[in-house]
Structures are given as structure tokens and as C-alpha cells.
Amino acid sequence: MKRELHEDIVDYLNYQKQLGVKYYSKSVLRAPQKDSSVLAQTTNSCGLRFSELENETHNCTKCGLSRGRTTVVFGTGNRKAQLMLIGEGPGYDEDIQGKPFVGKAGMLLTKILKAINLERDEVYIGNIVKCRPPNNRTPLPDEIAACKPYIEEQISLIQPKIICALGYVAANTLLGIESSISKLRGKFYDYKGIKLMPTFHPAYLLRNPEKKKEVWEDVQKIQRELNA
């Protein structure tokens, strides 16, 4: 229990550091050894901020996608996950259910996770944009820019060991580059101290099943890194 609380306070301090906070009271820094109640309060603060962030996205009108959505698809899974999977944006089924990757592509993603001995509730799954683009088109640059702070803060709060970027939109957005997923996949990159592996989006695999072998190679590398 103490170890888990200590990990929680470290996560929170890292989050505060990214917000620009530079100094902490000695009582907080010594909390892991002396006062578990302070650590519990810190844990609650992280959970509260996550809930606040979710509420913010559900009320967001920063771009035109908000006018056509049925619901906001914030993300689901383990908020302490070692692996975070990030896709492009919600599709029809996701827009209706309010959960990411629940359609055919989601079923394939579940199989991919099971292949490396992971269940969906063990990882965290989200998207670059939280609202469905019309006709499932690729999100526009201004839509990505408006929504990007949300996924960045989700990552900051979760602090996964590895991020798997599903498709070129997720990979290019997080890495701040422009490149095809074919050139990016297969190796780890650095995202603010977190290892990031780009690979093909499950929806792409449904149209190009011959690429499943390459995705299998990528997720095996993720599995080895998680087990290291």
C-alpha cells in the first residue's frame, strides 16, 4: 500500500512540475515515510484532476467537431496503466457508445492485446481528437490543435511506461513530425521521457490484412519492453 501511495505522489509531483510548480513543502516530500494521509490526499488530487479533465472535454466547443458529435469519447481503461494506446479519433460506433475502439477495429485491437497477454482493462485507450469527424474523415490540423492538450494531459496524469501510437495521425501529432507510418513503425521514439512505438491503426489492418505481421512484430517489442 505504501509503495502504491508513493508512486501516486511521484506521479502527481511530476504533473505539477510540468505545470510549472518548482517547489514543494518538506512535509509533502517526506510523506511516503511519515504521513500516508498526505499521500492519500495527493492520490485523490490526481483522480480529481482526471475527472475535471473529462468534464472539460465533455463541455468542449473549441472546434467545429463539437457541433456534429453525439457524445465525447474521452478514453477508457486503467489510469495507472503501463501501456497507453492512442488512436486518431472516434468512429460511428465510438460516437454512439462514448468509448474508444468498440467497432470492428476495436475488436481487432482487443485481439492484438490478448496476443501479448493484456486485457483492455489493464491498458488505457484514447484518441487524439475526442469527437467524431464527419464521415470518419481525417481530423483537420485546427481540430487536432484544439484537442491536443487533452491527450497530452491524459498522458501526463497516467504516466505510462510505453505509448503505442495507432496510425500516422497519432504518431505525427505526438512526435511533432510529418512522416508515413510505414517509415515510423518498428522502433521506439521518445515522448517526454516515455517510449513511444508507432504502428498501423487497426482500421487500416482491416483493409490491409497483410500488414498484421508487421503489427505483430511491433507489439512483441512492446511486450518485451513491458516485461523488461
Considering the chain, tell me which residue range(s) the CATH 3.40.470.10 domain(s) occupy: 73-227
In DSSP terms, which residues pair with 151 in a beta bridge? none
pLDDT of residue 71: 96
One digit per residue, pLDDT tens: the chain, 228 residues?
A: 444 444 555 555 554 554 454 434 333 333 344 455 544 555 566 788 999 999 999 999 999 999 999 999 999 999 999 999 999 999 999 999 999 999 999 999 999 999 999 999 999 999 999 999 999 999 999 999 999 999 999 999 999 999 999 999 999 999 999 999 999 999 999 999 999 999 999 999 999 999 999 999 999 999 999 998
Listed residue (101, 84, 217, 95) closest to 162, CA to CA? 84
Written as nine digits, the cell of 203 is 482500421
Q: How far apart are CA 226 and CA 228, in angstroms?
A: 6
Number of neighbours of residue 121 by Cβ within 10 angstroms: 10
Q: Per the structure block, which three cell numbers stand in for 35?
A: 504521513
Q: What's the rounded Cα separation, in Å, for the pair 13 and 10?
A: 5
Q: Cell for 78?
A: 486503467
Three-state secondary structure call for residue 220: helix
pLDDT at 48: 86
Q: What is the CATH number of domain 73-227?
A: 3.40.470.10
CA distance 19 to 160: 18
